[in-house]
């Protein structure tokens, strides 16, 4: 790496870190003031509160990283522009490619980290956050989930009156096995279902084979125990309680495969969420184009001014992103367009403005 690139990286790092600390601190203080009543009322230990906000950090990082990079780009370029450093670099024969390379290098690194954070860290931290949330609200950790319903592979619908995750146990189970036309071929009832050594076992089971017209039972078999080929694990059942916003890509893809041919509405919602998850990490690069354009055309360096401009650009971006996302959910935009519309729009405008600035 050339000295000039290292120098520019140093110029970016300070405002990025400062902005990250500022925004995350504001978020935590505001959220803490909201939860303060519960914390005092339920006499929550300090270490529990600390862990609650530590587990909140992955989600906070994911949401504020693009804005922090935008602020860093605007402030660092404006500061160098005011000190005529950019003019000196250009006079020394340093190309805009070399000057802007550190910005795009950091942006690409942040994109990769955001993908990793969303796929590996946020799902785990969300579960922990939910558990501590029960403590903050004065509730016991949820060890019983009632009236569980989920779709399983092979066009199967599973109902359970009670689900005990720690014991890997389902009580009062009803399984409907369907064909591709959603006709129920078999109805299976079981007093309980246990998950042991990677396999499900049904106890006190009755298997009803229904006739093709669905008007009656052709055959019924009662078994004390039956090993059942159900691919879903207990942790997969818990994922049904997790907001799809925080679920990893693999889980969404699996749900799309399971619901295919069963519910077009659910498929559309899941597909839009998948495309949105793919598009959002690239926000750092998309907004960077605007940050570079503003920085190269400004000479009044102020961190607060940079933050203000960044928040304005971010507000417009997130508003457009939320609008296209909503249009997709109600079926007015195809899922790929709904997920990537804001990125495509801002990339087109930002890229044009940056290229125009460089050429002029």
Per-residue pLDDT of the chain (360 residues; tens, 9 = 90+): 678 888 889 989 989 999 899 989 998 999 888 888 878 887 888 888 888 889 999 989 998 999 999 999 998 988 888 888 888 888 888 888 888 999 999 999 999 999 999 888 988 888 788 778 767 766 555 567 777 777 777 778 888 888 888 788 899 999 888 777 777 888 899 999 999 888 899 999 999 888 866 567 878 889 899 999 888 887 777 665 556 677 777 777 877 776 666 567 777 888 888 898 889 999 999 999 999 998 888 777 666 677 788 888 989 999 999 999 889 888 888 989 999 999 999 999 999 999 998 887
Three-state SS string over 26-54 comes to: HHHHHHHHHHHHHHHHCCCCHHHHHHHHH
283 secondary structure, DSSP code: H
Question: What pLDDT sits at residue 143?
Answer: 65
Indicate the pTM of the whole model. 0.75
Q: Domains of the chain, with CATH numbers? A: 3-138+271-359 (no CATH), 154-230 (2.60.450.10)
Q: How far is CA 244 from CA 13, 147, 214, 248, 330, in A?
A: 33, 19, 34, 8, 17
Rounded Cα distance between 316 and 333, Å, is 19
- Among the listed residues 170, 144, 145, 143, the one whose alpha carbon sits nearest the alpha carbon of residue 158: 170
- Beta-carbon contacts of 110 under 8 Å, excluding residues fewer than 6 positions away, are 65, 66, 69, 281, 284
Query: What is d(CA 289, CA 104) in angstroms, rounded to the nearest whole number?
Result: 9
Q: DSSP of 341-353, one letter per residue?
A: HHHHHHHHHHHHH
Burial of 128 (0-12, 13-18, 19+ CB in 10 A): middle
Q: What is the C-alpha separation between 210 and 186, in angstroms, rounded?
A: 6
Interatomic CA distance for residues 295 and 291, integer angstroms: 6
């Amino acid at each position: 790496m050339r000295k000039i690139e290292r120098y520019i990286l140093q110029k970016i790092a300070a405002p990025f870190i400062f902005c990250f600390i500022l925004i995350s601190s504001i978020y935590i203080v505001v959220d803490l003031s909201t939860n303060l009543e519960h914390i005092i009322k339920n006499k929550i230990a300090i270490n529990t509160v600390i862990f609650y906000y530590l587990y909140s950090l992955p989600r906070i990082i994911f949401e504020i990283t693009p804005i922090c990079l935008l602020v860093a780009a605007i402030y660092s370029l404006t500061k160098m522009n005011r000190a005529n450093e950019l003019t000196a670099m250009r006079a020394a024969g340093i190309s805009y490619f070399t000057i802007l390379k550190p910005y795009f290098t950091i942006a690409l690194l942040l994109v990769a980290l955001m993908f990793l954070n969303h796929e590996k860290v946020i799902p785990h931290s969300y579960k922990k956050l939910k558990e501590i949330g029960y403590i903050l609200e004065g509730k016991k950790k949820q060890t019983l989930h009632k009236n569980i319903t989920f779709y399983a592979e092979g066009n199967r619908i599973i109902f359970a009156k009670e689900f005990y995750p720690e014991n890997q146990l389902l009580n009062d189970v009803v399984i409907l096995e369907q064909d591709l036309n959603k006709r129920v071929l078999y109805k299976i009832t079981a007093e309980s279902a246990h998950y042991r050594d990677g396999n499900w076992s049904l106890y006190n089971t009755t298997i009803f084979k229904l006739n093709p017209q669905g008007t009656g039972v052709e055959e019924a078999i009662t078994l004390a125990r039956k090993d059942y080929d159900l691919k879903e694990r207990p942790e997969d059942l818990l994922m049904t309680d997790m907001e799809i916003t925080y679920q990893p890509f693999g889980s969404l893809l699996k749900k799309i495969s399971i619901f295919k041919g069963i519910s077009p509405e659910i498929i559309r919602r899941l597909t839009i969420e998948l495309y949105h998850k793919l598009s959002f990490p690239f926000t750092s690069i998309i907004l960077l184009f605007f940050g570079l354009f503003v920085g190269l055309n400004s000479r009044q360096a102020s961190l607060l001014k940079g933050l203000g401009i960044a928040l304005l650009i971010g507000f417009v971006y997130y508003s457009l992103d939320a609008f296209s996302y909503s249009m997709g959910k109600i079926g007015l935009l195809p899922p790929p367009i709904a997920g990537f519309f804001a990125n495509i729009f801002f990339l087109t405008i930002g890229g044009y403005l940056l290229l125009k600035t460089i050429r002029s």
